[in-house]
């Protein structure tokens, strides 16, 4: 089965824009988990350290030709920031800078401590736009999540990543009974083809059955994976991966490899657990009201079924860098979710 | 000629979303001029006073049933702001609040002192996405203009206006030789039909001929007017309207009424000027590199030709409030640009 036989960039994008740019197959879709980039117990606080580390690793993973060249980064956030003078930014790009050619990535981030307060306080996820509180909550939720999106785009741009924010609501995406009803990816394809890194996010959107709903980052990832067929998908979160019980539990075991068959049933390949189906108590570790680890596995299973490997690991570690590069070895710590028809090279080659 | 015979909300919007909401014809498209809402001589500085006044007048104009009820405003910006505690916001919406039913408006803002530095420094408007500086400038420009958009949406939301930011780039809009090539308005129609106030802005977009370009707020207004057929269009700027010479000039005369014929030729109806065509020296007063007053008249003329009155006036004055309400009388100061086939009621009734 060749998933690349149909060019993913041909879906609905104006052909004349495409003709101008080089075709690059999509390498990776990355979910920046809300728990990894925000401080989950503080309202609307970014975890600057973790976000900075994620951006730096993303740049390293995207730069296919270079290794570490932080000195040559062309920062692309030329806007006011507290304590940074604009003049210094002007000097920075006084000469024609060189820009590393990125391999193509799409990023999707969760909301973490942004948006959830506004959404849950007003019940946007339950719909009912005729209710004043829901309509106000819709506006407030979008303000919160787009604030986060802007900060993430800026952090990426400072690392020299050609990030462009694209809100699902502005893209015209909508749901029906909370499932995606309309989500044209043509503007995302066009942005990719032009050499940009689209940055999407969980958003409040219109819903055809209940007026409005929350479209989660995980559902967006699944949809994009289906339409754009990346080589692999990475979920960055605040724990190493999926465990058989809450990771704080003394005997919690990291599930390192999960295989998904054609019917979507999944089984744990590594480690070998006894009575596995009864033992696995999937834990909701993430500060994500739209879906915890269980949702993540289910969404990941749908992607794996397409023949696309999904890597779940902890942001800001050597394991996240390897996952972003698609270089999974035996030493790698995290959870791989893959099609049962597709063997994992490193694992099977070295340990099987 | 009845411009309302075709429902503007039927253009491309998913029908099931529309079925859920009441149909409201679009009342007004407003351009918030960059010169009116930002401090033009200071990089990326909002003119808070002027913006606050614009938002307050917009709310008053939108509330068709009520007059001034500032005490009952349900603020919709529930995000962190310096010096404002989140707890006070929670209390604010403790009870089910009442929300005034807005008549439908679309807002488009210019960039003012946002975006222009980044765009002109890198030459985004000239295209050439293969050049690193242009690509970096594209990213930097979008960061700057979306920052402004977010701040304007927040200011509107604090006034109880159901504002939703919609970036043309994210909407998938593109240009060809700097003119609009693809600009589907279905997501804007859907947002309007659901009771929201879309807030668009001048943006960096992909261009089919030169790679990228700047799509100005004025061009967006013209496109939206054609597709959505509002009752009237208002341009808010930092001078009272169009003058026969630079408004700082001692003898400068405000052109109060301009008529546009079917070929797009325009003539000054009020005041009566001698040798008018040679005298009129259209002045570029606005801090807008994508188009000054001359562009504004030309764009306005295209709209007026459709039978839609265009009112140009100074933001934050009694005249801007009247324009936003569509209530133009003899005392009103500003420039009306209208179709030569359509008489202006107030002027013809009271002074003619």
Give residue-wise pLDDT tens across range A182-211.
999 999 999 999 999 999 999 999 999 999
pLDDT exceeds cutoff 70 at B166: yes
Q: What is the pLDDT at residue B342?
A: 77
Q: What is the pLDDT at residue A244?
A: 83
| Residue B212 covered by a domain | yes
Q: Is there a binding annotation on residue B326?
A: no
Name the range with the highest mean pLDDT among A157-166, A270-279, A296-305.
A157-166
Interface check for B93 against chain A (CB to CB < 8 A): the answer is yes
What domain range includes position B247? 24-65+101-351
C-alpha span between B304 and B269 (Å, rounded): 14
**Strand positions, DSSP E, chain A:** 28-32, 105-109, 163-165, 174-176, 179-182, 197-201, 203-207, 211-215, 232-237, 257-260, 266-270, 309-314, 335-339
| Residue A95 covered by a domain | no
C-alpha span between B45 and B317 (Å, rounded): 21
Q: What is the pLDDT at residue A97?
A: 54
Number of Cβ within 10 Å of residue B90's Cβ equals 12
| Residue B114 covered by a domain | yes
Distance, in angstroms, between A170 CA and closest chain B CA? 5
| Residue B75 covered by a domain | no
How does residue B278 score in pLDDT terms, banded at 50, 70 and 90?
very low
Contact B139 A164 (CB under 8 A): yes
CA B309 to centroid of chain Cα atoms: 14
Contact B90 A121 (CB under 8 A): yes
Q: Tens digits of per-residue pLDDT, A233-288?
A: 999 999 999 888 888 888 888 999 999 998 888 888 999 876 545 444 444 333 33
Alpha-helical (H) ranges within chain B are 15-20, 34-37, 48-62, 86-92, 116-122, 132-158, 186-193, 217-228, 276-279, 293-305, 318-325, 345-346
Between B3 and B72, the higher pLDDT residue: B72
Average pLDDT of span B87-102: 55
Residues of chain B contacting residue A212, judged by C-beta atoms under 8 Å apart: 194
Average pLDDT of span B57-80: 76
How does residue B285 score in pLDDT terms, banded at 50, 70 and 90?
very low
In sequence order, what are the beta bridge partners of A254? A243
| Residue A67 covered by a domain | yes
pLDDT exceeds cutoff 60 at A135: yes
- Residues of A numbered 23-62 whose beta carbons fall under 8 angstroms of chain B's beta carbons: which are they? 43-44
Q: Is A37 helix (H, G, I), strand (E, B) or coil?
A: helix
Q: What is the pLDDT at residue B103?
A: 73
How does residue B156 score in pLDDT terms, banded at 50, 70 and 90?
very high
Q: What is the pLDDT at residue B7?
A: 38
Residues of chain A contacting residue B88, judged by C-beta atoms under 8 Å apart: none
Q: What is the pLDDT at residue A243?
A: 87
**Among A30-39, A215-224, B272-281, where is mean pLDDT lowest?**
B272-281
How does residue B256 score in pLDDT terms, banded at 50, 70 and 90?
very high
| Residue B92 covered by a domain | no
Q: How is chain B split among helix, strand and coil, in percent rounded to 5?
A: 35, 20, 45
pLDDT exceeds cutoff 70 at B13: no
Q: What does residue B344 show for φ and ψ, rounded to 5 degrees?
A: -90, 115
Q: What is the pLDDT at residue B98?
A: 56
Residue B164 DSSP label: E
Do you find a cis peptide bond into B271, omega within 30 degrees of 0?
Answer: yes
SS3 for B63-124 is ECCCCCCHHHCCCCCCCCECCECHHHHHHHCCCCCCCCCECCEEEEECCCCCCHHHHHHHCH
Average pLDDT of span A204-225: 96
| Residue B9 covered by a domain | no
pLDDT exceeds cutoff 50 at B138: yes
Distance, in angstroms, between A58 CA and closest chain B CA? 17
Q: Is there a binding annotation on residue A112?
A: yes
Residues of chain B contacting residue A167, judged by C-beta atoms under 8 Å apart: 165-167, 170
- Contact (CB, 8 A) for B62 and B101: no
How does residue A8 score in pLDDT terms, banded at 50, 70 and 90?
very low
- Residues of B numbered 217-256 whose beta carbons fall under 8 angstroms of chain A's beta carbons: which are they? none
Q: Work out the mean pLDDT of chain A and round it to a whole number.
A: 82
Do you find a cis peptide bond into A275, omega within 30 degrees of 0?
Answer: no
Residues 6 or more apart whose CB falls under 8 angstroms from that of A332 comprise: A313, A319, A322, A323, A346
pLDDT exceeds cutoff 90 at A95: no
Q: What is the pLDDT at residue B91?
A: 52
Q: Is there a binding annotation on residue B140?
A: no
User: Would you state the torsion angle of the CA atoms of residues B120, B126, B127, B133, taken in this order, to the nearest 10 degrees?
Assistant: -40
ipTM for the complex?
0.87
Q: Work out the mean pLDDT of chain B and round it to a whole number.
A: 82
Chain B, nearest residue to A75 by Cα: B136
Residues of chain B contacting residue A128, judged by C-beta atoms under 8 Å apart: none
pLDDT exceeds cutoff 70 at B352: no
Interface check for A88 against chain B (CB to CB < 8 A): the answer is no
pLDDT exceeds cutoff 80 at A20: no
How does residue B1 score in pLDDT terms, banded at 50, 70 and 90?
very low
Residues of chain B contacting residue A171, judged by C-beta atoms under 8 Å apart: 170-172, 187
Mutate to test the interface with A, among B101, B172, B179, B185 (most CBs of A within 10 A): B172
pLDDT exceeds cutoff 60 at A112: yes
Q: Is there a binding annotation on residue A35?
A: no
Average pLDDT of span A41-60: 94
Contact B172 A186 (CB under 8 A): yes
pLDDT exceeds cutoff 80 at A225: yes
CATH number at residue A346: 3.40.1160.10
Interface check for B154 against chain A (CB to CB < 8 A): the answer is yes
- Contact (CB, 8 A) for B109 and B152: yes
pLDDT exceeds cutoff 80 at A226: yes
How does residue A119 score in pLDDT terms, banded at 50, 70 and 90?
very high
Residues 6 or more apart whose CB falls under 8 angstroms from that of B31 comprise: B108, B109, B110, B217, B218, B221, B233, B234, B235, B236
Domain count within chain A: 1
Residue A197 DSSP label: E
Chain A, nearest residue to B75 by Cα: A136
| Residue B83 covered by a domain | no
Q: What is the pLDDT at residue B90?
A: 52
Sheet holding B211-215, edge to edge: B179-182, B174-176, B203-207, B211-215
pLDDT exceeds cutoff 70 at A74: yes
Average pLDDT of span B250-254: 88
**Among A1-5, A135-139, A173-177, B247-251, where is mean pLDDT lowest?**
A1-5
- Closest residue to B187, CB basis, from A99, A117, A172: A172
Q: What are the angstrom distances between the C-alpha of B330 and each of B23, B117, B242, B257?
A: 33, 40, 17, 11
pLDDT exceeds cutoff 60 at B277: no
Average pLDDT of span B161-178: 96
* Sequential DSSP letters for A279-302: H------SS-TT--HHHHHHHHHH
Interface check for A180 against chain B (CB to CB < 8 A): the answer is no
- Contact (CB, 8 A) for B194 and A211: yes
Of chain B, the percentage scoring pLDDT greater than 70 comes to 76
Cα B312–B313–B319 angle (5° rounding)? 130
Residues of chain A contacting residue B171, judged by C-beta atoms under 8 Å apart: 170-172, 187
Residues of chain B contacting residue A164, judged by C-beta atoms under 8 Å apart: 138-139, 142, 169
Q: What is the pLDDT at residue B14?
A: 43
pLDDT exceeds cutoff 90 at A164: yes
User: Would you state the torsion angle of the CA atoms of residues A9, A15, A17, A20, taken in this order, to the nearest 10 degrees?
Assistant: 90
């Amino acid at each position: 089965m060749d998933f690349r036989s149909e060019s993913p960039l041909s879906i609905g994008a104006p052909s004349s824009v495409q003709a101008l740019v080089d075709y690059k197959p999509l390498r990776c879709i990355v979910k920046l988990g809300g728990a990894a980039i925000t401080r989950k117990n503080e309202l609307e606080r970014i975890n600057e350290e973790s976000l900075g580390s994620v951006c730096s690793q993303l740049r390293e993973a995207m730069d296919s030709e270079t290794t570490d060249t932080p000195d040559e980064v062309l920062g692309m956030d030329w806007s006011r920031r507290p304590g940074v003078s604009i003049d210094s930014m002007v000097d920075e790009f006084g000469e024609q800078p060189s820009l590393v050619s990125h391999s193509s990535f799409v990023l999707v981030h969760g909301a973490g401590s942004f948006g959830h307060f506004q959404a849950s306080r007003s019940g946007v996820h339950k719909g009912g736009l005729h209710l004043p509180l829901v309509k106000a909550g819709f506006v407030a939720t979008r303000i919160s999540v787009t604030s986060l999106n802007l900060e993430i785009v800026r952090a990426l741009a400072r690392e020299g990543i050609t990030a462009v924010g694209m809100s699902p609501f502005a893209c015209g995406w909508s749901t029906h009974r909370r499932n995606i009803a309309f989500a044209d990816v043509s503007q995302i394809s066009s942005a990719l083809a032009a050499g940009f890194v689209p940055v999407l996010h969980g958003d409040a959107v219109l819903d055809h059955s209940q007026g409005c709903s929350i479209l989660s980052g995980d559902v967006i990832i699944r949809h994009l994976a289906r339409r754009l067929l990346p080589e692999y998908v990475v979920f960055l979160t605040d724990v190493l991966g999926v465990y058989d019980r809450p990771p704080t539990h003394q005997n919690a075991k990291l599930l390192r490899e999960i295989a998904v068959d054609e019917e979507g049933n999944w089984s744990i390949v590594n480690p070998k657990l006894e009575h596995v189906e009864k033992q696995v108590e999937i834990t909701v570790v993430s500060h994500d009201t739209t879906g915890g680890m269980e949702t993540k596995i289910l969404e990941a299973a749908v992607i794996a079924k397409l023949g696309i490997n999904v890597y779940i690991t902890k942001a800001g570690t050597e394991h996240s860098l390897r996952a972003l590069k698609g270089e999974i070895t035996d030493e790698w710590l995290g959870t791989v979710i893959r099609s049962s028809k597709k063997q994992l090279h490193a694992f099977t080659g070295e340990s099987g």
